Homo-oligomer: A and B are copies of this chain.
Amino acid sequence: MSAVDRPVITLLTDYGLDDDFVGICHGVIAGICPDARIIDISHGIARHDIRGGALMLRNAVPFMPAGVHVAIVDPDVGAERRAIALRLGDERLLVGPDNGLLTLAAEAGGGIVQAVDIARSRYRLEPVSATFHGRDIFTPVAAQLACGVPISEVGEPCDPAELVYLKLPGSRIEGDAVVVHAVHVDRFGNVQLDLGHEQLIASGLKLGQEVELAIGNDEVHLARYVRTFADVTPGQLLVYQDANQLLAVAVNHGSALERLGVVIDDELRITPA
């Protein structure tokens, strides 16, 4: 087998890197499917932040080679939630808990063509612990899929319509205002909003335009809608289309998170200044 044909497994979790959770998942995969190339998308999702994980998975998967994409943010591990493997319209496979974590990526990948419940998969590691399904269910099943086991054999068929789907708050246009929500903040303090490329074009915002950002009822900040950080002076607020083609707010050489003091789900109104 040439490296060109190596199967790819990607991992995205809220496990962090201080413990051995991620390392153990790698070891389990390497034991079952030694040919697999493992790519860590990130393990820095905030604990139990299903939506943050779902958004990151949706944004990152298109840049991954096609393969088996495992995501684990699982506050209800050990309870009755399903564990699932999904085959998408674009033939990628997703593996993770049935709590909405996988559904934004599934939609972006052509929708769910086939779903199986893997909670009692024959490929689980025994004894299955009540608290570490990453080790005992998700990665062993993913490794079998990567090594060629058909999805129909790793679990029981289930109806995609019965899965848990995630709802995003949703942006809207009100007169000349764009009403959006903070959905993610990155390491640099850049705040991602829930307004995609097409909506952005529909909003009528023009490059170079000065805008007002209102958070809640009182606080108003001046910003400029530009292409990139360097288009404003250091310390100035900018609104821009980020690398995922979503609208975002940043401070050149600074932190929009600190400047605005927003928290996830805060509503922002953007109007011409």
Residues of A within 8 A of B (CB): 1-4, 6, 8, 10, 12, 15-24, 26-28, 30-31, 34-35, 37, 39-44, 47-48, 56, 59-60, 63-65, 75-80, 129-132, 135-136, 186-188, 227-231, 240-243, 245, 253
Contacts and interface: CB of A to CB of B under 8 A. Distances in A.
B229 A60 contact: no
A240 B131 contact: yes
Report how many copies the assembly holds.
3
A63 B186 contact: no
- 5 A-B pairs with least C-beta separation: A78-B228, A18-B44, A79-B230, A130-B228, A132-B243
A121 to B, nearest CB: 18
Contacts of A60: 20, 23-24, 27
B18 A187 contact: yes
B228 A31 contact: no
Nearest to A227: B130
A24 to B, nearest CB: 5
A63 B243 contact: no
A156 B94 CA distance: 41
Nearest to A226: B130
A245 B4 CA distance: 40
14 contacts: A2-B35, A3-B34, A12-B23, A18-B42, A21-B187, A31-B64, A63-B135, A78-B229, A78-B230, A79-B230, A129-B243, A131-B240, A131-B243, A135-B243
A30 B65 contact: yes
Nearest to A30: B65
A164 to B, nearest CB: 15
Contacts of A37: 30, 34
A63 B40 CA distance: 18
Interface centre among A3, A41, A44, A245 (most CB of B within 10 A): A3
Contacts of A75: 253
A191 to B, nearest CB: 13
Contact of A242 (B47, B131, B243): B131
Contacts of A132: 242-243
